[in-house]
Amino acid sequence: MIPTSYPDAAEMARLTARMLLEIEAVHLNAADPFTLASGLPSPTYIDCRKLISYPRIRSTLMDFLTVTVMRNAGFEAFDNVAGGETAGIPFGALVAERMALPMTYVRKKPKGYGRNARIEGVMTEGQRVLLVEDLTTDGGSKLSFVDAIRETGATCGHTAVIFYYGIFPETEKTLGDHGVALHHLCTWWDVLAEAKAQGTFDAATLEGVEAFLNDPRGWQEAHKKA
């Protein structure tokens, strides 16, 4: 079923943040920071993969994401929905079902045998493809997926994510310079606001996280391990 009537963007952002907090997908620790894939420290970590195990939340957020994309990009804007390996695959499938569109997925790199393909499923020249992922930080990882889609002769001018960090100013420019518009449900700012409202974490933790959100690069430089 294609959703068409849902709350405005601000309320969807608040509810998304609330759901992420409810299932403990949000991890905050300013005193003992997490190490990201980049090797840099961060007092925040989010695990959107947990969402697939909560049917009511999963269904609601996929409705939110679908209606957000249709409101922003158009109701007849796409011919194919592609999930990015690996976290984007289930969400891509769920959005494709709601939009009544074919679903494909994009590998991070060719699988190294057989057809050596990066695109799985049927994607054809001229199709307008929506790339779906769980989250984006600085937008860089999306570009490889977009390029793989475009190599088939299809177009990809939009990517949709549940969670957007919303703290690195270069993100939307990086994507925009590549001809890609970003659609998302909530950011760290939304999560911080809801965590404060609920009292989910202690004040010291929230203060440390807010300092990071206001100056992420400076915070990371100051907290690098020797």
Q: Indicate whether 3 belongs to any domain.
A: no
Does residue 226 belong to any structural domain of this protein?
A: no
Nearest-angstrom CA–CA distance, 154 and 91: 20
pLDDT at 78 over 70: yes
In the chain, the number of structural domains is 1
At which residue do the structure tokens 């620790």 appear? 29
Q: What is the pLDDT of residues 145-155, one digit of tens each?
A: 999 999 999 99
Is residue 148 in a domain?
A: yes
How far is residue 178's CA from residue 157's CA, in Å, rounded to a whole number? 8
Grade residue 20 by pLDDT with cuts at 50, 70 and 90: very high
In DSSP terms, 34 is beta-bridged to 42
Would residue 140 count as lying in a domain? yes
Question: Which CATH number is 46's domain given?
Answer: 3.40.50.2020
120 in any annotated domain? yes
For the stretch 173-222, pLDDT in tens is: 999 999 999 999 999 999 999 999 999 999 999 999 999 999 999 999 99
Q: pTM for the complete prediction?
A: 0.94
Domain, as residue range, for 120: 9-219
Q: What pLDDT is recorded for position 30?
A: 87
Exposed/middle/buried for residue 37 (C-beta within 10 Å: 0-12, 13-18, 19+)? exposed
Distance CA 213, CA 137 (A): 12
